[in-house]
C-alpha cells in the first residue's frame, strides 16, 4: 500500500479494513487473531502495515499538532417509508 498516495487502495485483514486516502488512513472492523498459521499471517500483515505507516511519517517532515477537519453540514432527506 502506498500510504497517503492515493484514494484507491484497501487492505483487508480478516474483517479489518484499512482504507488509504491522501489525507488519512481509515481503519475499521475487527480481526480475531488465533494461535495458528492464519493468525500468524494476520499478525505479520498488521505489523508490516504499522511499520510502513510509521516509516511514512518519518518522511513527511514537520507535522502539525492536529489537523481540524471541517464538519460536513448534515442534510435532511424525506423518509420514503412514511
Domain boundaries defined on the chain: 10-58
Predicted confidence at residue 25, as pLDDT, reads 94
pLDDT > 90? residue 18: yes
Would you list the DSSP string of 16-43? EEEEE-SS-EEEES-----SSHHHHHHH
In which element (H, E) is residue 56 found? helix 37-58
Predicted confidence at residue 41, as pLDDT, reads 97
Taking alpha carbons only, the member of 11, 82, 15, 81 closest to residue 53 is 11
What letter would DSSP give residue 81?
T
State the cell numbers at 58. 518519518
pTM of the model: 0.76
Predicted confidence at residue 76, as pLDDT, reads 83
Instruction: List, for residues 25-73, the tens digit of each pLDDT value.
Output: 999 999 999 999 999 999 999 999 999 999 999 888 888 888 887 777 7
Amino acid at each position: 500500500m502506498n500510504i497517503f498516495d492515493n484514494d484507491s487502495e484497501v487492505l483487508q485483514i480478516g474483517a479489518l479494513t484499512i482504507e488509504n486516502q491522501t489525507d488519512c488512513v481509515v481503519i475499521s472492523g475487527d480481526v480475531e487473531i488465533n494461535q495458528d498459521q492464519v493468525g500468524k499471517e494476520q499478525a505479520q500483515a498488521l505489523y508490516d502495515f504499522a511499520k510502513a505507516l510509521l516509516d511514512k511519517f518519518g518522511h513527511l517532515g514537520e507535522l502539525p499538532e492536529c489537523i481540524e477537519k471541517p464538519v460536513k453540514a448534515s442534510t435532511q432527506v424525506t423518509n420514503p417509508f412514511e
